[in-house]
Each structure stands twice: as C-alpha cells, then as structure tokens.
Amino acid sequence: MKRAMTKIFADFIARRGLKSTKQRDIILDGFLASDRHLSIEELYLKIRASHPNIGYATVYRTLKLFAEAGIAREMQFGDGQTRYEHAGEGEHHDHLVCTRCGSIEEFENETIEQLQAEVANSRGFLIEKHRLELYGVCGSCRK
C-alpha cells in the first residue's frame, strides 16, 4: 500500500513536470505512517518533531498535491479543520464521527449507496460524489 502510494505520487510528480524534493518525501512518509483523518496542523506538528525546518505552508501545499495525485482525500467533519485521509484506488467509505472523543470510524454499505443512486436517478441528478457521516457517541465513549 505504502509502496503503491509512493509510486503513484512519483508518477504524478513526473507527469506534471514537478520536482522531487526531500520535503515532499518526508511529508509523504509522515502522511502514510499516520492514522487517517489528520489535519494539516496535526501532520505539520508530527513532522516538525523530526524535521523542525519544514514549514506549515509546505505541508499545506503538499497535502493539496496528494489530493490532486489521488492518494489523499480532503474531508470536513465540522470541527473547523480540513482533514486528509488516505485515498486508495477507487475505494470508498463513509464515517462515524464521535462527538465525544473525536474518533472517526469507517464503514461501507452497498445498499445505502444503491439507494442514493436511485434517489438521484429519479430526479435526473448526476452524482459526482457524496458525503455520509453519522455523528454521535462511539462504543468506547458509551461505556
């Protein structure tokens, strides 16, 4: 997975005539090694621990590149910060967001996806993407 992502990003860099830099390598490593759904700030701080000279703006711009390259996806969970998650090839999932501890679980439900398609169809609406999030209290927080 990590290999694949690294390859995809390298190809993207090449295709776009961009340059390979050590900052981008470091940020990619940090991103791939992390828990999913981290904010720019979170990744920046994590990376800064071992690379104090990498700037916020570079992390910010690099995450945008990851999104363009298709290895990251931008998300908004209503906490005022943009979060990035790993984006595998064509994979899709929705989220359960705990309003207590902030943890984010993922799920997939093909039936829901189909019903969404039906709703859109019946109105002549062409779906490009969708967002389904369940907010509430996670299992751990309920104990």
Partner DNA sequence: ACTCCAATTGAAAGTGGAAGTCATAATACG
Partner DNA sequence: CGTATTATGACTTCCACTTTCAATTGGAGT
Residue 84's nearest CA partner among 67, 100, 101, 68 is 67
When binding is defined by CB under 5 A, the residue of 106, 112, 120, 139 that contacts Mn ion is 106
Q: Which does 12 bind (CB under 5 to 8 A by kind): DNA, Zn ion, Mn ion, none?
A: none
Q: Report the nearest approach of DNA to the CB of residue 85 (Å).
A: 14
When binding is defined by CB under 8 A, the residue of 4, 18, 57, 127 that contacts a copy of itself is 127
38, β-bridge pairs: 84
Query: Would you state the torsion angle of the CA atoms of residues 78, 72, 51, 56, taken in this order, to the nearest 10 degrees?
Result: -50
Secondary structure class of 14 (helix, strand, coil)? helix
Specify the DSSP class assigned to residue 78: S
Is 85 a residue that touches Mn ion (CB under 5 A)? Answer: yes
Please compute, for residue 11, the number of CA atoms within 13 A of its CA located in the half-sphere on the CB side: 9
Is 120 a residue that touches a copy of itself (CB under 8 A)? Answer: yes
Q: Which does 106 bind (CB under 5 to 8 A by kind): a copy of itself, Mn ion, Zn ion, none?
A: Mn ion
Q: Report the nearest approach of DNA to the CB of residue 22 (Å).
A: 5
Residue 138 Cα to chain centre, angstroms:
21
Is 67 a residue that touches a copy of itself (CB under 8 A)? Answer: no
Task: Please state, in angstroms and rounded to a whole number, the distance separating the CA atoms of residues 95 and 108.
Answer: 9
Within 84-103, the residues that bind a copy of itself by CB under 8 A are 96, 98-99
Task: Please state, in angstroms and rounded to a whole number, the distance separating the CA atoms of residues 58 and 137.
Answer: 35
> At residue 95, what is the residue type?
H
Q: Which does 102 bind (CB under 5 to 8 A by kind): DNA, a copy of itself, Zn ion, none?
A: none
Residues at the interface with a copy of itself (CB under 8 A)? 76, 78, 96, 98-99, 105, 107, 109, 111-112, 115-116, 119-120, 123-139, 142
